[in-house]
Structure 1
Amino acid sequence: MRFGVLDDRLIAVLPDGAAHDVTALAGPPAGPAGPLQRLIERGRPLSAAEVRSAPAVDVGGAAWDAPLPFPRKVIGAPANYRAHVAEMGNPNTIVEWGVFLKASTSVIGPGRTVELPYTDVRTDQEGELAVVIGKEARHVSASDALDHVFGYTCVLDITTRSTEDRSTRKSYDTFTPLGPLVVTPEEVGDPDDLALRCWVGGELRQDSNTSRMIYGVRRLIAYASSVMTLQPGDVIATGTPEGVGPLADGDEIVVEIERVGRLAVTVSAAGALPYGNRMGVPTA
């Protein structure tokens, strides 16, 4: 089953393609976190029979919103593919770096626009598989980790190559495109064997497989849960393969993950400024 948000309505898409408005089944009004967050928090999956009992909708050509517009946490996995480690020229991997946090306010949905902050500092695309946590996890084992997963979706971890801390460089508004749909585990199968590709301006930049991750999904969830409590609706960006590169005004970024989906956004430099003019730089 797949879940998406369309004009503040929660839409469930069954394996046969039938789509139904299940907003009323998700629980009380959702607030800024959105109706999918409410469904996840209720702790019980919807059955196919429940979905079919809800109003049918036509989602052909739908302009989906971010499925989780304001997650509690967005957790990132740096340097989680060895080929990406090699291209960045730093020997450290996730083993040394650990995980990091991105601001929830950096999330945008499909079809939206990534806003470049600077005219003279490179900002890159990083296509990644995202894991949506469905059940609280603290000190879980790798063997039990997938029991805590609600589903999977596509994410772009947009990154400015400036001097600040990693969380700053990755937390600008619009720097976490997410979606379009969250796919439940039974449709995805093994999350550690999914083809992942990413295009920028029509150029194929990233072409890999999640089997090449240093920490696979199970180990990544186990590790993250040893550091912090994972809560329902938290999003884990699992890291990017080689092929990251600079973005430019007018680019389209597309990330496509096998059995998960296709996420596309555009890029604008309309509000960009020179790096030396950023807030916080001392003036004479």
Structure 2
Amino acid sequence: MRLALFDKGRLGVVDGDDLVDVTERLADRGTPGPAGALHHYIETTVRDGAVALDLTGLPRVPLTEVDLEAPLPRPGKIIGAPVNYLDHKAEMEYTTSIADLGVFLKANSSVIGPGQDVLLPYTDKRTDQEGELGVVIGRTARHVSADKALDHVFGYTCVLDITVRSGEDRSTRKSFDTFTPLGPWVVTADDIADPDTLGLRCDVGGETRQRTTTADLIFGVRELIAYTSSVMTLHPGDVIATGTPAGVGPLSHGDRIVLDIEQVGRLEVGVDGSRALPYAHRPGSRVR
């Protein structure tokens, strides 16, 4: 099942080329907050595998006629996995990997949805795309084993972890507004037999920069959930970005970024550098 937000926060199920509006059918679950209708659905649904929704008699609209939004506009946490592909470790000449670095947090205010623009903050600092598989937590997880990890997954989505190559801490460089494009929907876990076998491709400006399979992750999805849950409690609606492969590169004004993940979906966003400033003009740059 593919679940999407559209047209100012309505919740829909993608069915072929149509979107079936299930918003009213879930009205008895209460009113969604700022985290959105899908997050509310995840939090208020006791999951034992995928929860089917009866689509009989519900209104349908062609996907081409709706405005898709970020399926999780304000996740409780966005957790990043640094250096989780060996080829990315090699291209960046890192001496460490996720096994040494652990995980980091991104601001949930950095989320945007399909068709929106990544805003470049600086004119003279490189800002890169990083295409990643996103894991959406469905059940509270604390100290779960790798063998039981997938029992705590609600579904999967596409994530772009946009990153400024400057000197600040990782969480700062990756938390600018618009730096976490998410979508176009969440595919429930029952539709993905094994998240560690998915093909991933990321194009920028019509050229392929990244192509891999999640089989090449250093910490696979199961191990990543187990490790992360040993550090922090994972709650329904949290998102884990599983790491990026080799091929990260600079973004320019007017670029289109397209991330395709097998069995998950296709996320496309633009790039806008019209409001970028010189790095030396950032607030606090003269404070010593």
- Bin for the TM-score computed over the shorter chain: over 0.9
What TM-score comes out, normalization by structure 2 length?
0.95
Partner of 2:162: 158
1:84 equivalenced with 2:78 (yes/no): no
Partner of 1:9: 10
What TM-score comes out, normalization by structure 1 length?
0.96
Partner of 1:65: 69
After superposition, the Cα gap between the structure-2 partners of 1:120 and 1:43, relative to the gap in structure 1 and judged at 3 Å, is same
Deviation of 1:87 after TM superposition, in Å, equals 0.2
RMSD: 1.5
Cα distance per residue 1:100-142 (max 9 Å; x no partner): 0000000000000000000000000000000000000000000
Cα distance per residue 1:141-190 (max 9 Å; x no partner): 00000000000000000000000000000000000000001001121220
CA distance in 2, matches of 1:110, 1:225: 29
Matches within 5 A, 1:1-284: 1-7=1-7, 8-14=9-15, 19-26=19-26, 27-44=29-46, 47-48=51-52, 50-53=53-56, 55-61=58-64, 62-282=66-286
Deviation of 1:53 after TM superposition, in Å, equals 3.4
Cα distance per residue 1:208-266 (max 9 Å; x no partner): 00000000000000000000000000000000000000000000000000000000000
CA distance in 2, matches of 1:5, 1:17: 15
**Is the partner of 2:68 in helix, strand or coil?**
coil
Deviation of 1:17 after TM superposition, in Å, equals 5.6
Q: Is the 8 A contact 1:20 1:51 kept in 2?
A: no
CA distance in 1, matches of 2:250, 2:88: 15
Unaligned 5+ runs, structure 2:
none
Q: Is the 8 A contact 2:119 2:178 kept in 1?
A: yes
Q: Is the 8 A contact 1:43 1:135 kept in 2?
A: no
Deviation of 1:85 after TM superposition, in Å, equals 0.3
Unaligned 5+ runs, structure 1:
none
| Residues matched between the structures, number | 282
Deviation of 1:55 after TM superposition, in Å, equals 1.4
**Is the partner of 1:151 in helix, strand or coil?**
strand
Q: Which moved more, 1:55-64 or 1:86-95?
A: 55-64
CA distance in 2, matches of 1:98, 1:21: 40
| AA aligned opposite 1:9 | R
Q: Is the 8 A contact 1:132 1:236 kept in 2?
A: yes
| AA aligned opposite 1:28 | G
CA distance in 1, matches of 2:127, 2:18: 39
Q: Is the 8 A contact 1:18 1:56 kept in 2?
A: no
